[in-house]
Homo-oligomer: A and B are copies of this chain.
Amino acid sequence: MPSPVRTSAAGEGLRARRRRETEHAIHAAAVRLVEELGLAGVTVDMISAAAGISQRTFFNYFPSKESALTIGPPPLPDALHRRLAHGDPAPRVTLTELLDVLSAHITDDVVPDRELVQATFRIADRHPELRAALHARFDAFEEQVREAVAERMATAPADPRPRLLTGIALAVTRTALEQWSLGTAGDHASPEPDLRQCVDLLHTLMPKT
């Protein structure tokens, strides 16, 4: 018999997912309105109404309309974080493994709504302060990945390898996501083919030892 105070792992997961869905709905409404009316023409009230929530709920999710426009990659879920930080064989992490983890995260966890991603980047390009906020989100994600890699490698803080591996892997995924959102290498609903192409290209670009 389940204990009445138990919050199951599945329950936690459901709550986290619902939170992400609401966050996504607010973000989508904000982007759609700003594309239509311009940044100055949109208020938190309008975004809340369009997303079907109260202004109070809005502020439970985002501190400002600017932050609602610039959600970055969601944090690595526990399973992928564990795979990266505690996987076998420790302490080695290869670039290939890191790219596998990031690809899984992008194709499974990141809502692959291509037009929304494209519009978000378009708005950020027009507004330096939003571009900066988006950058900060990507930085935070990079830091999370780097820390997981460093945990796995159990290295001294001075070891440049976690930063180097993470920097390279994120350069590859960033290129793939940009190519996907622009549709320059074909019109794919999922970013997976673009990710695969960029990972393959990496092999041809690498210095031969």
Contact = CB atoms under 8 A, between A and B. Distances in A.
Interface string A86-118: 000000001110000000000000000000000
Q: Which of A95, A133, A135, A174 has the most chain B CB atoms inside 10 A of its CB?
A: A135
A198 B132 contact: no
Interface residues of A, number: 39
- What is the copy number of this chain in the assembly? 2
Contact of A171 (B96, B167, B197, B203): B167
Nearest to A136: B128
A189 interface: no
Contact of A160 (B133, B161, B179, B207): B179
Interface in A175-209: 175-176, 178-179, 184-185, 194, 197-198, 201-203, 205-207, 209
A158 interface: yes
Interface in A147-181: 157-158, 160-161, 163-165, 167-168, 170-172, 174-176, 178-179
B160 A164 contact: no
Interface in A107-144: 128-129, 131-133, 135-136
A164 B171 contact: yes
A203 B209 contact: yes
Contact of A202 (B94, B164, B198): B164
30 contacts: A94-B207, A95-B205, A95-B206, A128-B132, A128-B136, A129-B129, A131-B132, A132-B136, A157-B184, A158-B179, A158-B185, A160-B175, A160-B176, A160-B185, A160-B194, A161-B201, A161-B205, A163-B178, A164-B171, A164-B198, A165-B205, A167-B171, A167-B172, A167-B174, A167-B175, A168-B168, A171-B171, A203-B207, A203-B209, A206-B207
